[in-house]
Amino acid sequence: MYLIDFNKPVHIHFIGIGGISMSGLAELLISKNFTVSGSDNKESVLTRQLAAAGCRIFIGQSADNIDSTIDAAVYTAAIHPDNPEYDRCIKLGIPMLTRAELLGQVMTNYRTAIGVSGTHGKTTTTSMLSEILLLADTDPTISVGGMLPSIGGNMRIGHSDMFLTEACEYTNSFLSFHPTMDIILNVEEDHLDFFKDLDDIRASFKKYTELLPDDGFLIINSSIENYQYFYKDSRCSVITFGLNPENSNYSAKDFHIDDKGDYCYTLLYNNEARCKVALKVPGEHNILNSLAAIAAAVTLGIDLDTAVRGIADYSGVDRRFQVKGVCSGFTIIDDYAHHPAEITATLKAARHYPHKKLWCVFQPHTYTRTKAFLPEFAKALSLADHVILAKIYSAREADIYGVSSADIQRLIAKEGTPCEYFESFPEIESFIKDNCKEGDVVITMGAGNILEVGEDLLSPELSTVTAP
């Protein structure tokens, strides 16, 4: 593997630079005086920001984008050997490394390197912890998988010895990391196009914890089945969180939900009440996310009062129960949920949000995930009053699995929930305009481009858009 000397800037090219993590890494290298170029299939806010920072951006991927001035190339799991830029790098003998390998090398430059992992909740928990670290004046470098308003995007370049990032398990990416603190939020079945089964996923997370040094820290959800398995061969310090105070260092009781679905609770430490915690984001799942962030912060030496105030400062990131606006009297919310457990959590949270009728416009993400969880998707989506399905967002996959959104529709119908399936976004938008009423809530949901439906509906009314 090619090793980057961060004290000797060279020319690094990113294949797929517009991705949320890739763009952040590119920004980091630019701040270290590296020459950075990169390509992506389309222009975006992130590519425009990089261009403004001095990065050479190519729209469209071509062998012509690669020349001998490039010292190394970085690519993501979505890039395959038949990619023209990847192929050109191989032919020219240009060293290559994955996004995860680069991120792992970045972590070695920080005394405290925190990786937030889990099947769900990584972006939210990373963002919550970011708010705490900023409030505590730790001046961290932060890489987050969403647009966090308090840092003005997805990357913050700090000047301390602290680095915070999400740690994704897909393709075992996080096994290239060098953390001093691991956070494990949950471990469930997902990414079954790569992992064999849940046991395979659990084994990967165990290997992740084994990367910790003996003086490192593991923050882990005690509700994970046999959670002790993940650290049984490690010497690191273990701190637990969860809703059961009997086996959790950090826990919660006395839940209260306000009129917007946001929670307040009493924080317990070793089963003793310590203080009240108020959330500005809805959903019981965010209690667990906040407990993880608080546990990590206190372990890092931040006082509890600052940690709790940091949680109160967090109001969400783009695409995580993001209120986009009001169109013709109904509220449009966008959410990234694309796994049955995430959908369940989001729709349960939405039940506490003011509404007359709850609509869910869902775009399944990848054929393999859809096929693996068909019954689970139907059950989760049936928590809405009415479901609208879009075509499957293929992402990195070919349509060879014999599954479609119509399969989910049939199962939802058996659950007794009204459900439509449309092939195109204009059809979905037309149906929403004709059927949604004042006081309804419409959630566009999925990891693909389904957010465009809400944006299209709002676009004629941008001057009058308000949030309730």
CA distances in angstroms from 16 to 48, 83, 102, listed in the order given: 14, 11, 14
User: Which contacts (CB < 8 Å, 24+ apart) does range 27-36 have?
Assistant: 27/53, 27/155, 27/157, 28/106, 28/141, 28/143, 28/155, 28/157, 30/54, 30/55, 31/157, 32/6, 33/9, 34/9, 34/10, 35/9, 35/10, 35/11, 36/11, 36/12
Helix axes 99-107, 20-31, angle to 10 degrees: 50
Find the largest Cα–Cα distance for the chain: 63
The residue behind tokens 């075509």 is 391
Q: Which of 122, 125, 131, 240 is catalytic?
A: 122
**Catalytic residue list contains 196:** no
Q: Which of 123, 299, 366, 368 is catalytic?
A: 123
**Catalytic residue list contains 357:** no
Instruction: Collect all residues with Cβ–Cβ distance below 8 Å to 466 and sequence separation of at least 6.
Output: 325, 326
**Catalytic residue list contains 165:** no
Instruction: Collect all residues with Cβ–Cβ distance below 8 Å to 307 and sequence separation of at least 6.
Output: 132, 293, 294, 297, 298
Among residues 171, 192, 120, the alpha carbon closest in space to that of 369 is found at 192
Give the Cβ contact number of residue 328 at 10 Å: 14
Q: Which of 27, 101, 166, 169 is catalytic?
A: 166
Overall size of the chain counted in residues: 468
Residues 141, 281: Cα–Cα separation, whole Å: 24
Active-site residues, by number, are 122-123, 166
